[in-house]
Homo-oligomer: A and B are copies of this chain.
Amino acid sequence: MSPLDDLSPIAACCPALTARADIEPYARDWSGRYAHPPHAVLRPGSTAEVAAALRACAAAGFAVVPAGGRTGLCGGAVPRADGPPAVVLSLERMNRIRAVDARDFTITVDAGCTVRAVQEAAAAVDRLFPLSFGAEGTAQIGGALSTNAGGIRTIRWGNARDLVLGLEVVLPDGRVLDDLRRVRKDNTGYALRHLFIGAEGTLGVITGAALKLAPALRARETAFLAVPSPAAALALLDRLASNGAELIGFELIGRWPLELVRRHAPRARLPFALESPWYVLLELGTAAAADLRTPLEAALAAAIEAGEAGEAVIAESEEQRAALWYLREIMPECNRAEAPSVSADTSVPVSAVPAFLAEVEAALAARWPEGKLIAVGHAGDGNVHIALQAPRGTPREAWHRNAEAIEDMVNRIAVAHGGSFSAEHGIGQSKRHAMAALRDPVALDLMRTIKAALDPRGLMNPGKMLP
């Protein structure tokens, strides 16, 4: 019997797509680097349907590739050509907000809700769901949890992991782990939720989550400033953090990506000429009706006095604030409009950011002098994204022949500084070789032990994450 003959019991579990044209969008993610069509796309509408689908796939020997908004950058939600025949399990129809409790600062949602839908449901009851990143309008919360997404607010509220109180998970054999707890303190055995968060669907399928909320922000101040160096930016960060400034974002931006914004984003308005090698976009925010402006101005004045900052603007209106954040948000598109680039996803301890950047810049320039360094990211938590961009006109395929070598160079420098080669995008397919090369062998062995114990047949998202 061919794999396709086995499809009928699986497709009977829940609505399914099997026509080639319908399946095509599920063959790839935003990276554009991986593409392979599944045998079918299952679209369950309930936890019970997910459970039935996983039981049927286990019985038929099909691999299950869970997929959310497919905004991943590492091929984690894309089927592979090798291994068992695969179906994509799309959570898109499971998009209910199950409950919002303002008094408890919690929200309980289906895994297929977009991150933005969760933000909006929280805002409707004067609460903030702090997880925020570029793809939030499309990315689904199940995927964001399965990759332990980061983003611009990590400096204040942590990663996706830190926002989870409880999970509902369908296990590889179709059993349902109902661990949707909403308590802040719970020590009843191993912290099972933390196994599935960041596991990229290799241990089961997250179908629901109970999440923490914060009070809605009542005061916000946003500043954009030129800084002479990463070290100066971090001195400013230290000045703010040590004095209890209500930092909710701290982005470090190199000149080149801003130059690309100037070139390719006609709507962008740069507040001043790009004469400095580095820039900082920072934001303070609090739920109190507090004056954040005075302490921000004082901190910036002190920073300018100390030579840590040059020109600086503070947004005077919501419109100006949006315009400043637009500079940051439009960057990936402008980078792509200019020329192909190869990106890493590194983090280092915050104090190591300047040395890390200096070493990366020197090493990349020595080997690929024609490349342009794009450095931009969440410096407040040590997560600066490095990309090396080809000269204009270079074909993507040609530049991407350097991909593994570029990534490896950047990753090794990060790891030498006590850092990580996967800060917030996950491993998927693209960083499995880095896992093999750079992760501690004892840690890898433990991960394989866990995988074998929970998914002994190896049908959950095979060929992802673990090398």
Contacts and interface: CB of A to CB of B under 8 A. Distances in A.
Contact of A351 (B101, B192, B194, B431): B101
Contacts of A198: 187, 189-191
Contact of A192 (B186, B197, B443): B443
Given A192-B447, A427-B188, A443-B192, A183 B348 contact: yes
A interface, how many residues as a size bin? 35 or more
A459 B179 CA distance: 28
A126 interface: yes
A154 interface: yes
A420 B183 CA distance: 7
A2 to B, nearest CB: 34
- Chain A interface mostly helix, strand, loop or mixed? loop
Nearest to A204: B446
Interface in A419-435: 419-427, 431, 435
Nearest to A194: B194
Contacts of A8: none
A74 to B, nearest CB: 10
A426 B189 CA distance: 8
Contact of A218 (B176, B184, B244): B244
A337 interface: no
B243 A350 contact: no
B188 A420 contact: yes
Contacts of A147: 187
Interface in A330-352: 347-351
A464 to B, nearest CB: 11
A347 B104 contact: no
A176 B181 CA distance: 33
A423 B190 contact: no
